[in-house]
Copies of this chain bind each other. A is one copy, B any other.
């Protein structure tokens, strides 16, 4: 049986997104629930995939099937495609399974040629309108299908306006447009060597192929990469009869969300333009009217639209993003889809919908993308701060940002990769600017509304964005913008507040975010659903308190090296490192002991009742010594200038010691438990400090729960030796202090050898904490410091790796070792607690993997704890129960 490649809208339904694309499936669904949808057909994603499978050829049978279904469409509408009297015109839109706004090319008014154009003029009695449609069609079709650059047509149009001495397209009359049309056709012949195709069916088939082709254009590929959409889904093609929002003042077009996509407030939110075609709203070139104004202008239409919105929201059980057109006083629905929203809106909508009885708590938890919470957890401008607002635009995406001004996406990317914070400033953005938006802290545009490209993309990424800030005048050539007399040059520091639309000179003080009630409610629900514990990586009592506030159930990683870096301690630490004998080293360590004890006292107290996994000293000792190159320069200078001989000698001695500790590959050097293998007295001091602090707290009635974590284990013998030492010190402290406490000693698993011999190691460990940062470095042989600065971007751009493995856990490589280590460890020691404490512990897909392989906990930075809680609940909660989601 041959594949069915083409569906009438009536033949589809909402759950056929895989085959018909999201747009096609929703058009079918709306058609079937009786909404006013212009009739059409959908070419399936399978056809697209077969197109690529057959080497970019129309799959066998597709052309025939399109023609057959077009006959049915013509019968339904009562117009014929290519009819010179009353021609059927079509819109051609792509539509993949997942919404990819602005990413794919659209063609309107397909079916126009010299003959049908004249027929349309007669049928509508509106010559200028039809000629303008024809002009737009040639330009659009030529751009998308024939690859003729947009500006070639714009020049022809501009030439006509110049000739007539006018400024706006609308000032051109029908006669002018006929001249423009002739010029356009010449452009096509000049650029392509062929006449513009006049056969409507040829136009249609070429357009279908062009949509297929656009699946793999640069913008689409980047968008998919950014949104982790698989490359092999393909796109459907929606062929729909045209309705016109630009036939006069009883026409219009608009987009609206059923709830506010920024705040989640339950109020219709959108924009429309009278006498305009759909692309005018989305492109952000004309600034549209808020949807509420439609109530005044067209009250009946408005009411009909409100009713339809309510119907759709109840039908889909989700906030909808709807496109509509009004043609001569009649409302048509062109599209509905689940509306993109900010994280704050997603939370409010999900929690409200539970209150409204539409969805349950588990569904609500699944409705909020865990990664998106990040934007709510970022800082905002301190309300008490005084600052100089130089302009105000639309509050297009919440959050505050600060950085150097850049005017170009490439420059933004370049500086961003170099670690600079930048703000991207553009008149408007296009899909070609995506890489600059990714690299920037925030975006400021001088044109476009809340649904403009910049606004939609920035909200999706959780980046602050201010749009349509018309008072700023950008001069790309001079690399500056002006607001009245104020001049801001490239490189100047500026701030924006995407929640208020403010544009601010210089840097402003920012404050930590507050969690909304809905946010707190949603997070509380996660605890009912998830089965993994969420802990935090925190090294100070302050961080510990913050983590607790965000709901952390303990500390999964308390690093002790930062405690060694404090100004007053560094000299003692250096003394310890440079000791030539064990006695000298122990003397220096004895001075550090009370300091470490007070560190642990503070953290254990802040986390009262929760476990605190304390990692013993990890970095190589030379990190605590002066920089070798600086010393070298100082010594050379002293020599050249015949400087103080005594100082020279001291510096030379220090250099000798620094050189002695120098390592070629410090990542793989004398660090972690290796330090304690050589100098057991270092860990002995730390362990004593931990347990003395514990004893002190227990005496004060505080429930302190330390667990000792040994880093960088490769062999069970290391752990055996260091565990024995720790346990015996703990027992000594118990005896000395006359208190008892539980003794737990576990290990980081962060080297491949530890994973493959985890069974041996587990029999001497109370817990495993996978350090997936180091494990990624050694499993891939990637030094993070070197890879991210040098070759990581090549690996991502050339599609060798899907994601930066330091951000998203490499499941098939590193993940396999984590699973192996977990399984082997549990086999040998069924009581073993297992978790991860690398940065992946706060990344949603990685958390999903942790749930899949059955870890007990994840640990992440305090600010990512809410994300981790939500992601853990989602991972435990499984699929959405609402099939149309």
Q: Which A residues are closer than 8 A to B by beta carbons?
A: 628-629, 632-633, 636-637, 640-641, 663-670, 674, 677-678, 712, 714-715, 717-718, 721, 750-753, 756-757, 760, 774, 777-783, 785-787, 790-791, 794-795, 798-801, 810, 812-814, 816-817
Contacts and interface: CB of A to CB of B under 8 A. Distances in A.
Instruction: Sort A-B residue pairs by CB-CB distance and give the 5 closest, nearest first.
Output: A640-B640, A668-B783, A665-B783, A753-B813, A752-B752
B757 A665 contact: no
Contacts of A668: 665, 667-668, 777-778, 781-783, 786-787
A668 B756 CA distance: 21
A678 B813 contact: no
- How many copies of this chain are found per oligomer? 2
Contacts of A810: 753
Contact of A714 (B629, B715, B781): B781
Contacts of A757: 812-813, 816
Contacts of A791: 670, 674, 677-678
A677 B794 contact: yes
Contact of A751 (B637, B721, B780, B785): B780
A792 to B, nearest CB: 10
Contacts of A636: 632-633, 636-637, 640
B779 A753 contact: yes
Contacts of A786: 663-666, 668-670
Nearest to A774: B781
A783 B663 contact: yes
Nearest to A661: B790
Contacts of A678: 790-791, 794
A838 to B, nearest CB: 15
Contact of A641 (B640, B665, B783): B640
A628 to B, nearest CB: 8
7 contacts: A636-B636, A636-B640, A665-B667, A677-B794, A751-B781, A753-B779, A778-B779
A247 to B, nearest CB: 52
Given A668-B782, A678-B794, A786-B668, A756 B813 contact: yes
A632 B636 CA distance: 9
Contacts of A798: 677, 721
Contacts of A795: 674, 677
Contacts of A667: 664-665, 667-668, 781, 783
A543 B817 CA distance: 39
A796 to B, nearest CB: 11
A637 B637 CA distance: 7
A670 B779 CA distance: 15
A135 to B, nearest CB: 42
A829 to B, nearest CB: 18
Given A752-B778, A753-B781, 11 more contacts: A633-B633, A636-B640, A665-B665, A667-B668, A667-B781, A668-B777, A669-B790, A677-B795, A751-B781, A753-B780, A753-B813
A800 B717 contact: yes
A800 B761 CA distance: 13
A669 B715 CA distance: 26
A94 B780 CA distance: 51
B666 A664 contact: yes
A867 to B, nearest CB: 27
Contacts of A721: 798, 800
Given A665-B786, A786-B665, A779 B751 contact: yes
B753 A800 contact: no
A664 B800 contact: no
Contacts of A814: 753
A633 B638 CA distance: 12
A381 B778 CA distance: 45
A798 B722 CA distance: 12
Contacts of A712: 781
A652 to B, nearest CB: 13
A714 B677 contact: no
A552 B422 CA distance: 60
Contacts of A629: 628-629, 632
Nearest to A751: B781
A635 to B, nearest CB: 9
A643 to B, nearest CB: 10
